Amino acid sequence: MTDNKIIVKYLDSSTEKLEFVYEYINTSRYQDELIKDYNLWNQICSSLYVINDTILAIKSYLSKKYPKDIGRKYLYTYGILQALFTQQDAVINLTECFNVETKVCDVFREIRNLRNISIGHPTKLERREGVYYGYISRITLSKFGFELYKTDQVKKRDQFITVKLVELIKKQAIEINTIISSLSEYLIELDTKHKCQYKENKMENVFPDNMRYYFEKIGEGLYSSDYVKDDFALSMLNCVKQHYDEFKQKLIERKEFSEYIECDWNQYNHALEKVEGYLKKNDKFMNGTDARIYLFYLREVHKSFVAIAKEIDEEYEKISNTRFNADKRD
């Protein structure tokens, strides 16, 4: 397998594994928490965009014909080195967002050092150990690399360094894939632990089979002028309210009480209060017809909440066994 094919394989693998990160941050139970931290959320989004953008840039560098024009050769070389440098920062900053420490490894350090002395700060690169100066040998510029002239001020020594660009790109593609694989596995593990914590405690069980009976008895109270039936209807209504309060609490525990569900729940609770006001005869704006319309709403919308409960239960049954062989080398 050629270097180009190896690089593309690892870049494509990284892109695929980033989908697990996207899936995680776009899951409401996690997104609602992440988005509360404005800086954290923007760092995640920025890092993901930059990783994908630099993957596209690297693949384009490998697949497109290298220019003959000297000026464009410099643009290509400057661009690919900066893309590698920026990609490193993006991956490190992404893992930082999830408290996963990613150190600057030897591969990253080698590329960063070469980038700094060749295109980052070639005219004066100041370091603790001294000052360096460098430039690219123009006649050696090619798609595969170049010769770098470097002067060491302290040692008073000049040296030529052979920079093998494609080899560096391959090393970084493998390292990036390893890091993204580890991050994805970590997030999958967090999600699995969360699901295992609650999967045996079914959301659907919050709503007993006799919910239909509750609605029927509430309806009888709305159609009757019998105070006994009114009291019984109120007791049935309280049962419905208790089940919905429990439903809300379980959603909050699971971090599933999204703004959309909250909106639906608030509307449903409003309808419960309107029917309660009519049965208690303390809502002067409610009449029997209005109360029966609200009851119809309660009965019909209840089906959608049952569907939500089932959907959550089904999702929590899905435990991922995904493991990535990120350390495999070609």
* Residue 127 shares a structural domain with residue 259: no
- Mean pLDDT over each residue of the chain, to the nearest integer: 93
Instruction: Tell me whether residue 303 is in a domain.
Output: yes
Strands ordered across the beta sheet of 125-127: 125-127, 130-136, 145-152, 157-164
pTM of the model: 0.85
State which amino acid sits at residue 325: N
Torsion angle in degrees (nearest 10) through CA of 105, 110, 115, 118 = 160
Tokens describing residue 89: 């920062």
Q: Mean per-residue pLDDT for 107-127?
A: 93
* Residue 84 shares a structural domain with residue 226: no
Instruction: Tell me whether residue 95 is in a domain.
Output: yes
* Residue 204 shares a structural domain with residue 193: no
* Residue 28 shares a structural domain with residue 177: yes
* Residue 171 shares a structural domain with residue 243: no
70 is in which domain, residue-wise? 3-197
Window from 229-238, 243-252, 295-304 with minimum mean pLDDT? 229-238
Spatial separation of the C-alpha atoms in residues 330 and 328, rounded to whole Å: 7
Contacts of 196 (CB under 8 A, 6+ apart): 319
pLDDT tens-digit readout, 39-78: 999 999 999 999 999 999 999 999 999 999 999 999 999 9
Which residue, 197, 218, 235, sits at the end of a domain? 197
Q: Mean per-residue pLDDT for 10-19?
A: 98
* Residue 119 shares a structural domain with residue 216: no
Instruction: Tell me whether residue 328 is in a domain.
Output: no
* Residue 90 shares a structural domain with residue 236: no
As for how many domains the chain has, the answer is 2
Q: What is the pLDDT of residue 85?
A: 98
> Are 295 and 218 spatial neighbours (Cβ–Cβ below 8 Å)?
yes
User: Residue 163 carries which DSSP code?
Assistant: E
pLDDT at 321 over 60: no
pLDDT band, very low/low/confident/very high, at 324 (cuts 50, 70, 90): low
Q: Mean per-residue pLDDT for 299-318?
A: 95
Instruction: Tell me whether residue 322 is in a domain.
Output: no
Which residue, 159, 182, 197, sits at the end of a domain? 197
Instruction: Tell me whether residue 325 is in a domain.
Output: no
* Residue 190 shares a structural domain with residue 221: no
DSSP 94-150: HHHHTT------HHHHHHHHHHIIIIISTT-EEETTEEEEEEE-GGG-BTTEEEEEE
